[in-house]
Amino acid sequence: MMTPRERWLAVLNNQTPDRIPTDYQSTAEVTDRLITDLQCKDEHEVWRKLNIDKRKSAYATYTKPCPSDTDIWGVQYRDVDYGTGSYREAVTNPLAEMTSTAEIDAYPWPSADDFDFSNVRRDLEKHSSEYPITLGCFEPFLTYAHLRGLEKGFEDLLLEPEIADAILTHLFEFHYEYNRRLFEAGKGLVDVTYIAEDLGSQTGPLMGLETYRRFLLPNQIKMADLARSYGIHIMYHTDGAARIFLPDLIDKVGIELLNPIQWKCPGMEREGLVRDFGKDIIFHGSIDNQHTLPFGTVQEVIDEVKESIDIYSSTRWICSPCHNIQPVSPTENIVAMYETIHEYGVLQSS
């Protein structure tokens, strides 16, 4: 039997694992509930009990004083309760009122020098013999929206391109050096890095293809090239209806895994993605967490997993919920997802 890391590496290297790999994404409330309901001592025991091939990661230590409600970019947050849990939401946008690139450049941007990377390798070595390792992240427009405000952020791309260029340049320069030092610290242990930007909404793209190519694509290519220089595979995250971006992501950025496959969004139907892109990328996610996992029956969850096994049979797939499992998803549905893929996801080497 393969370890979770061996299973992932087989898929990444276009080999056949013993079974379809899995992954796990959820809110903290769900993980805490699973620990209780499954009578486990911690989340690692949950993963082993449900045969979850969870990715592990590590982070450098920020060395400067920072209030608990403020991030390194100077954005303040508060926990917003939504009834069954809470999300941390930005409540300040420190660049919102700036009108010139001089103001942007004068802002106290963080530096990779503000971090201690000495713990990274040690933290990765704790898990690298068993679990797949993911390290580093680059999702600049999400941070941009927190710094500037979401509405103004989108407006900048059309109305204030110089402002957009200035902010995105600062974000890229920080992340490039921060990730380079992470990759250097974890050299030889890292399997995957995470490049992300939510390009799709529930019904269509969040921006035009030319806007994406103008503001986001060039730096995504550079970040992917950096990771590849360390032998690291590229995992890309985008929610929603993002099909129009996939040719650029595959051919220019060189992504290898696409997450999370919200297949009920227009253009993201599983059969079409497999037909058009299945030879190029690994699909990650797909088990619906907006309808099936929270509101379906156990049998409907089982049926969706089996259906996905069939649809992805000609390509590579890592079974996981399509985005974070929310607290409204019953424990029995979550368990059914993992038990079904474990039972029916066995693969035969060709």
Say if CB 186 and CB 121 are below 8 A apart: yes
Residue 8 has pLDDT above 80, yes or no: yes
Tens digits of residue pLDDT in 143-163: 999 999 999 999 999 999 999
25 and 82 housed in the same domain: no
Q: Residue 275: which residues within 8 A CB-CB, separation 6 or more?
A: none
Whether residue 255 lies inside any domain: the answer is: no
107 and 240 housed in the same domain: yes
- What stretch of H or E contains 343? helix 331-344
277 and 212 housed in the same domain: no
Residue 279 has pLDDT above 70, yes or no: yes
240 and 96 housed in the same domain: yes
Whether residue 128 lies inside any domain: the answer is: no
328 and 305 housed in the same domain: yes
90 and 43 housed in the same domain: no
Range of the domain at 209: 61-116+134-188+191-246
Whether residue 330 lies inside any domain: the answer is: yes
Whether residue 123 lies inside any domain: the answer is: no
Residue 349 has pLDDT above 70, yes or no: no
pLDDT, the chain, mean: 97
Q: For the chain, what's the residue count?
A: 350
Residue 60 has pLDDT above 60, yes or no: yes
Q: How many structural domains compose the chain? A: 2
25 and 166 housed in the same domain: no
Whether residue 252 lies inside any domain: the answer is: no
Does pTM top 0.85 for this prediction? yes
Whether residue 55 lies inside any domain: the answer is: yes
Of the residues 219, 246, 273, which one is the last residue of a structural domain?
Answer: 246
150 and 103 housed in the same domain: yes
Buried b or exposed e, range 232-256, using 16+ CB within 10 angstroms: bbbbbbbbbbbbebbebbbeebbbb
Mean pLDDT of 279-302: 97
Tens digits of residue pLDDT in 100-155: 999 999 999 999 999 999 999 999 999 999 999 999 999 999 999 999 999 999 99
Whether residue 254 lies inside any domain: the answer is: no
Q: Which of 124-128, 194-198, 212-216, 345-349 has the lowest mean pLDDT?
A: 345-349
223 and 281 housed in the same domain: no
Residue that has been written with the tokens 């013993």 in this structure: 18
195 and 308 housed in the same domain: no
Say if CB 7 and CB 319 are below 8 A apart: no
340 and 235 housed in the same domain: no
Q: Report the C-alpha gap between 88 and 79 in whole angstroms.
A: 4
Return the closest-CA partner of residue 25 out of 284, 310, 340.
284
Q: What per-residue confidence (pLDDT) applies to 347?
A: 85
39 and 65 housed in the same domain: no
**Rg of the chain over all Cα atoms, to the nearest angstrom:** 20
Say if CB 287 and CB 310 are below 8 A apart: no
C-alpha distances (whole Å) from 48 to each of 7, 57, 339 are 14, 17, 12
Residue 350 has pLDDT above 70, yes or no: no
Tens digits of residue pLDDT in 163-189: 999 999 999 999 999 999 999 999 999
